[in-house]
A and B are shown apart, each in its own frame.
Chain A
Amino acid sequence: MKVSRFGFLAALGVLAALPAASQTVQIDGAGATFPYPIYSKWFAEYNKMHPEIQINYQSIGSGGGIRQLTAETVFFGASDGPMTDEQLKNAPGPVLHLPTVLGAVVPIYNVPGVSGDLRFSGALLADIYLGKVAKWNDPAIAKLNPGVSLPATDIAVVHRSDGSGTTYIFVDYLSKVSPDFKGKVGVSTSVNWPTGVGGKGNEGVAGLVKQTPGSIGYVELIYAIQNKIAYGAVQNKDGKFLKASLEGVTAAAAGAAKAMPGDFRVSITDAAGSDAYPISSFTWLLFYENPKDKAKAKVMVDFTKWALNDGQKYCADLGYAPLPKQVVGLEADAIKRIKL
């Protein structure tokens, strides 16, 4: 009896102390859909360790994330492409870009009679998407794939119809390796494609490619891995043909780390390094350097430090490439720019 009464009192005491000790913090963010699976995993895991912290993330798209951040309706944003100079100018304060994980884009195809892996160079992919290489037995394709019997069918080009970070990474790469592509198409989340049909989402593109004999498309590496879609090898800057892998993507980021600009707004497509997969990219979290709500800022800084170190172990399971050590080191310094 005595013990139980003591227990009861103790429980009362704990209950009374709880609200004071841990005020629930709720933080809202919005942005890219590509990193959404790992972000929600991170927020859930972090919430398990710190039950008082709740981070809500709306995956409304990179453009929407940047817009909401600029309008200050969310505390942090997320984007697959870095903010442009003009967008930064429109923001009410300086914005810090922090790379969180890496993704890659792979070419997928459906060529009757070809079962093995096809090889592509950046210039070839650019010419296909410009409509200049229009047949599968074009000498430009045959040269890279000796011994493969290529049919004389038309190439049906498939691209994304919705604005997307995947398109951004893909055209960013094609623009780097082909001046012609850069001049005619350029880089954005949606572009004016000279040829082809648009599929909605990774699943739309993959569906069209699967159904259409003689087609080529591009999807996120994660999507290709999880759905077991065969994809081609792409020639990197050092001349090596590589099939995309999580290691290859991290290697590309490591190659880029040497010349990393202070604001992390860097494209790592066509990166140097013999193991670097060329169509790779960071995805970023966006914070104000001088946030209004210091309490939330403190929480997010702690969270980001955790995500960049311990959090990286969730990457492999979800199909993301983890950040290379060098980049994590650089970011640890950059986080200090957030004024707490």
Chain B
Amino acid sequence: MAPSSRRSTDDRLFRLGTGLFALFVVLLVAGIAFELFRSSRLSVQKFGFGFWVTKVWDPVAGDFGARPFIWGTLYSSFLALLISTPIALGIAIFLSELSPKALRTPLAFLTELLAAIPSIVYGLWGVFVLVPLVRKLQVATPDWMRKIPLFSGPPLGVGMGTAAIILAVMVIPFTSSVAREVLRAVPNTQREAAYALGATRWEAIQAAMRYGRTGIIGAIILGLGRAIGETMAVTMVIGNNPQVSWSLFAPQYSMAAVIANEFTEAADNLYLSALIEIGLVLFVITLIINGLSRALIWSVTREVKVKAPKAAAPAVEKAAA
């Protein structure tokens, strides 16, 4: 009797302790949200919702709007994912499915090493290597291409395209190592079943990816999170000009970059408050994206559940469609 009751108190204590730690995270998020709201009150009151859509950022006149920064953050992150996702998934598939055993560990180590490089180093590499390269590419761009809005603007080297490339390089190790773990966790019976049905290697890999797709989407979202919050490397190559443009050559700006750049010298209350509101906007957008990715994962898993009893219940399939 005594040992079992001790065990139950131990369990309760353990539960209480871990529960407190979990609660701590919730409190921390709530505290950050509260503090962001409180410190940006001045700017929220003055600009209201207009802050989200106004293009002007004029510290002299005290006129602030976040639209160019929101655009820059979302556009650069989206472009980065566009570049990094196929590469990262390619790496993951090669490492988990195709690579010879001897190569697997060193290659995995190298991709993960990319994740350990501090972002300031990426920034320096961007400034000294990538920017001149991109400028050469821009100069070589034929005139008819430069007329397309996607490639308009003078050849500066710095700009949206350069930022997207550097972000993609930073994101690749995150996405690829998580996707690799996901693929490795796919039971071998899945692949064996595919082969048994006469699938080619490519089809078997497709089946494995399909099985692990929630995890793979998670891996991509993790990369997105990294891209949205990245500050130092982006500010060094994006050109820091608050404008909304589709052009990959145009210097633009991001939310994290403007906070890092202007926070130290912001002496005026409204100015500081507007910068903190940018932080709030970033926070809200991160929440929205997290929510959307949850919804995406949820919809994918739901689809799997519906499709699984395919042969058994075609009526369910029809109803779902």
Does A67 count as interface, using CB distance less than 8 angstroms? Answer: yes
Contact assessment for A163 and B236 in the assembled complex, using a CB-CB cutoff below 8 Å: no
Does A186 count as interface, using CB distance less than 8 angstroms? Answer: yes
Contact assessment for A67 and B267 in the assembled complex, using a CB-CB cutoff below 8 Å: yes
Contact assessment for A197 and B261 in the assembled complex, using a CB-CB cutoff below 8 Å: no
Q: How far is the CA of A187 from the CA of B235 in the complex (A)?
A: 23
B71 cross-chain contacts in A, Cβ below 8 A: none
Contact assessment for A154 and B251 in the assembled complex, using a CB-CB cutoff below 8 Å: no
Does B241 count as interface, using CB distance less than 8 angstroms? Answer: yes
Contact assessment for A207 and B154 in the assembled complex, using a CB-CB cutoff below 8 Å: no
Does A23 count as interface, using CB distance less than 8 angstroms? Answer: no
Contact assessment for B241 and A186 in the assembled complex, using a CB-CB cutoff below 8 Å: no
- In the complex, which residues 167-203 of chain A have their Cβ closer than 8 Å to any Cβ of chain B? 185-193, 196-200
Which of A60, A66, A84, A161 lies in contact with B261, CB distance below 8 A?
A: A161
B169 to chain A, nearest CB (A): 20
Interface SS majority for chain B: loop
B265 cross-chain contacts in A, Cβ below 8 A: 61-64, 162-165, 189-190
For B232, give the chain A residue with the smallest CB separation: A200
A87 cross-chain contacts in B, Cβ below 8 A: 267-268
Contact assessment for B158 and A208 in the assembled complex, using a CB-CB cutoff below 8 Å: yes
Contact assessment for A186 and B60 in the assembled complex, using a CB-CB cutoff below 8 Å: yes
Q: How far is the CA of A208 from the CA of B251 in the complex (A)?
A: 13
Contact assessment for B241 and A163 in the assembled complex, using a CB-CB cutoff below 8 Å: no
For B159, give the chain A residue with the smallest CB separation: A197
B253 to chain A, nearest CB (A): 8
A187 cross-chain contacts in B, Cβ below 8 A: 60
B251 cross-chain contacts in A, Cβ below 8 A: 196-198
Residue interface bits B57-88, CB-to-A below 8 A is 1, else 0 = 11111000000000000000000000000000
Q: How far is the CA of A154 from the CA of B59 in the complex (A)?
A: 28
Q: How far is the CA of A62 from the CA of B267 in the complex (A)?
A: 8
B140 to chain A, nearest CB (A): 14
Contact assessment for A200 and B156 in the assembled complex, using a CB-CB cutoff below 8 Å: no
Taking Cβ atoms with an 8 Å cutoff, the residues of B that contact A are: 56-61, 127-128, 131-132, 135, 154, 156-159, 235-236, 239-242, 251, 257, 260-269, 272
Q: Which 8 A-B pairs have the closest CB atoms?
A: A163-B265, A198-B240, A61-B264, A186-B60, A161-B240, A63-B267, A192-B58, A63-B265
Given A66-B267, A156-B156, A200-B235, 7 additional A-B pairs, CB 8 A: A63-B265, A64-B264, A156-B154, A163-B262, A196-B251, A197-B159, A212-B157
22 contacts between A and B (CB under 8 A): A64-B264, A67-B272, A90-B269, A161-B235, A161-B257, A163-B265, A187-B60, A189-B265, A189-B267, A190-B266, A192-B58, A192-B60, A197-B239, A198-B241, A198-B251, A198-B261, A200-B235, A208-B158, A211-B127, A211-B135, A211-B157, A212-B157
Taking Cβ atoms with an 8 Å cutoff, the residues of A that contact B are: 60-64, 66-67, 83-84, 86-87, 90, 154, 156, 161-165, 185-193, 196-200, 204, 207-208, 211-212
